[in-house]
Amino acid sequence: AKPHSYTTDDVIEISAHGSPVVLRHIVELCVASGARLAEPGEFTSRAFLNGRIDLTQAEAVRDLIESQTVYQAKVAAQQLDGSLSRRLQPIKQNLVQLIAQLEAGIDFADDDVSILPDAVILQHIADVQVPLEQLRASFAYGKIVHEGLTLAIVGRPNVGKSSLFNQLVERERAIVTATPGTTRDLVTETVAIGGIPVRLVDTAGIRHSLDEAESIGIRKSKEALADADLVLVVLDASQEEAAEDAKLTAQASIRPTIVVQNKIDLQITAQRSGNRAPDVRTSAVTGKGVAELRAQILQHIRGSIGAEAEHGFLTNVRHRGLIEDSLSALEAANKAVALKIPHEMLLLDLYNALRPLDAITGATTTDDILNLIFSTFCIGK
């Protein structure tokens, strides 16, 4: 019963046997008696409109439903619990206090109200700007948590790329033979590493080839390397490093790269050369070093910003865009102070910085945006 229900409205819950025929008949009887089917997201929309949750929490409901990993669900649950809202609250409060002080200086100019010095105004703006910039930076990690990332496995033919790929997906997904050039097309599989969805791409061995089919595969390998968020460059520990290895490592350096020295189960017959030492050594045959490789991948994914996970971070493109709008307005406010522009005009920039922050939580959001957000929900939520 209200106000303790999900929507804060009175709600009737019907528990019945799970037969689809029975359930469908119950729904038909309800509709015949005057009820109607809910629109997609209507229950969560009502919870938002009735003040039960804010807009970031409403969006977290959708993210929780769409979660593919436990970690994604954990992050969505944190946002549903208000982690992002709590992080935004003191930022908005600082901005509102600055606006209030400037408004008071204008409205009561004839009274004994002190005017804020420029240095104090700039410090107040910085107190808002710095945490917003940190929040904006967290989107790099949040986007990966929400959407996953693509990891390309590249190297010369027969260095064990497909065997390593199979180790990471924990099944025989890619064909493995002793014949170089077996992989001709891209083979993809999505796995969870540390709760992050990682789309693995096994590529054709990169070398000079006159074979037309293999050449097409090599071209696709180079495209996969360029498009990847992270690249594994696989080297053969049982052979002396070839010039192609150094060249490929240099080509891969346009993206974040992990250099893997594979086949350590074989006797190393030659001294390794090159400017970059391998980040991890593995045997795709025995599985040795694969756990360390997964840890290296996760370390690259999370980096230093992974610690933000417990304090609320951006996973939503809409939120990132609004943070950008707010920061642009704050930069305009900084320039206004430097140019000695009257406080009446400075306030316009500060209000322009506040409105996007209100829009994130839904304090001020147009009906069109709300309809767009809730239309992405499934029926019944």
Cis peptide before 157 (omega within 30 of 0): no
Q: How confident is the model at residue 215 (pLDDT cuts 50, 70, 90)?
A: low
Task: Write down which residue in 302, 332, 365 finishes a domain.
Answer: 302
| Mean pLDDT value of segment 242-270 | 83
**8 Å CB contact between 16 and 23:** yes
Positive or negative CA dihedral for 31, 33, 36, 42?
A: negative
Question: What are the pLDDT digits (tens) for 77-104?
Answer: 999 999 999 999 999 999 999 998 898 8
Q: Does residue 289 sit in the same domain as residue 334?
A: no
Do 296 and 339 belong to one domain? no
In a shared domain, residues 284 and 195: yes
Say which residue, 104 or 182, is predicted with more confidence: 104
Q: What is the CATH number of the domain that holds 110?
A: 1.20.120.430
- Report for 165-179, 193-207, 361-375: range of highest mean pLDDT: 193-207
* One domain for residues 232 and 156: yes
Residue 335 inside a domain? The answer is yes
Least confident segment among 68-77, 131-140, 310-319, 350-359: 310-319
C-alpha separations of 345 from 117, 326, 336, 354, 369 in Å: 16, 16, 8, 15, 29
Q: Is residue 57 part of a domain?
A: no
pLDDT band at 21 (very low <50, low <70, confident <90, very high): very high
Same domain, 28 and 120: no
- Give the SS3 label for residue 199: strand
Q: Is residue 310 part of a domain?
A: no
- Give the least confident one: 114-118, 184-188, 324-328: 184-188
Tokens of 213: 């089919």
Containing structural domain, residue 205: 150-302
Round the average pLDDT of the chain to a whole number and report it.
Answer: 84
Q: Specify the pTM.
A: 0.76
Is 221 within the bounds of a domain? yes
Token reading at 6: 């999900």
Lowest mean pLDDT among 9-18, 144-153, 241-250, 311-320: 241-250
Residue 154 sits in the same domain as residue 298:
yes
DSSP labels, 231-282: EEEEEETTSPPPHHHHHHHHHHTTS-EEEEEE-TTS---S---SSS--SEE-
Residue 56 lies in a domain: no
Per the domain annotation, does 9 fall within a domain? yes
Q: Which of 268, 302, 336 is the last residue of a domain?
A: 302
Counting other chains too, the contacts that 106-115 makes at CB distance below 8 Å and 24 or more residues apart are 106/343, 106/344, 106/347, 115/343
* Greatest distance between any 2 Cα atoms in the chain: 89
Residue 76 belongs to a domain? no
Total structural domains in the chain? 3
Q: E strands, the chain, where? A: 149-155, 187-193, 196-202, 230-236, 257-262, 280-281
Asked whether residue 60 is domain-assigned, the answer is no
